[in-house]
Amino acid sequence: MPRNGAHDGGAADPPGGRRGQGPEHEGERAAERRVGRHESPEERADRRWGELLQEVRVAQTGVQILFGFLMTVVFTPKFFDLPTTDRNIYVVTVVLGAATMGALIGPVSFHRLVTGHRLKPETVTWASRLTIVGVVLLLATIVSALLLILRIALRNSAVPWLVAGLSVWFVLCWFGLPAWARHRYARRERRE
């Protein structure tokens, strides 16, 4: 086969190089690096919706188990022996749990009510927002539940510090690390 592009009728390769490596092709290579998936807006919305549903399923399962447990506590004989502060923390925890379930089940209801109206990209955007609200409420629910349980189990002044430490851990895992990664890799992408 002939070399230097003669086989396809194109221009010859630059001496000592390959086709597409000259300065005139720099913009094309940069564009190729930045281009992600080749999907239509509808395909992208479908993919993002599928990913979102998987994420919501994970969160919903945990919330449903926690909320179910919280619902039964009030029916135990020792509940009314709890100090008023602990009962108030319990009520706050149950309310937060209910709000969390509302936010995390919201995307399913939203999707069902707008299906067939060609609003998939908008549905994904709103469902994502509801999911973030649900995750924040889940954090508050877990912190409140931990405070209640550890107050009853330990009955000492270390409980608020322990709960605060766990709260920081959750915030780092759920929000800090993703924010850091997004910032770090966005800078790297801009440099390329």
- Tens-place pLDDT, residues 128-185: 999 999 999 999 999 999 999 999 999 999 999 999 999 999 999 999 999 999 999 9
At 183, phi and psi to the nearest 5? -65, -45
Token pair in block for residue 164:
């605060």
pLDDT at 36 over 90: no
* pLDDT value of residue 186: 85
Instruction: Name residue, tokens 């993919």.
Output: 47
Residue 31: pLDDT over 50: no
Whether 119 contacts 163, CB under 8 Å: no
Task: Report the C-alpha gap between 61 and 100 in whole angstroms.
Answer: 12
Q: What is the model's pLDDT at position 190?
A: 67
Roughly what angle, to the nearest 10 degrees, separates helices 84-114 and 41-73?
A: 150
pLDDT at position 69 is: 93
| CB atoms closer than 10 angstroms to residue 188 | 9
pLDDT at residue 3, as a whole number: 46
Buried b (16+ CB within 10 A) or exposed e, 71-92: eebeeeeeeeebeeebeebbeb
Ranges 8-17, 43-52, 76-85, 162-171, most confident: 162-171
Give the span between the Cα atoms of 155 and 150, in whole angstroms: 7
Residue 97 region by backbone torsions, left for phi larger than 0, else alpha for psi between -120 and 50, else beta: alpha
What string of DSSP letters covers 79-113? GGGS-HHHHHHHHHHHHHHHHHHHHHHHHHHHHHH
Task: Round to whole Å and give the CA distance between 157 and 145.
Answer: 17
pLDDT confidence band for 4 (50 / 70 / 90): very low
Name the band, by pLDDT with cuts 50, 70 and 90, for residue 7: very low
Predicted pLDDT of residue 2: 46
Q: What does the pLDDT read at residue 159?
A: 97
pLDDT band at 41 (very low <50, low <70, confident <90, very high): confident
CA 38 from centre of chain: 23
What was the pLDDT predicted at 5? Answer: 44
| Amino acid, single-letter form, for residue 87 | R
Predicted TM-score of the model (pTM): 0.75
Residue 91 tokens, joined: 């009520």
Please provide the average confidence, as pLDDT, over all residues in the chain.
84
The alpha carbon dihedral of 34, 36, 39, 44 has a sign of negative
Task: Say which residue, 180 or 20, is predicted with more confidence.
Answer: 180
Whether residue 82 is predicted with pLDDT greater than 60 in this model: the reply is yes
Answer whether residue 47 shows pLDDT above 60. Answer: yes
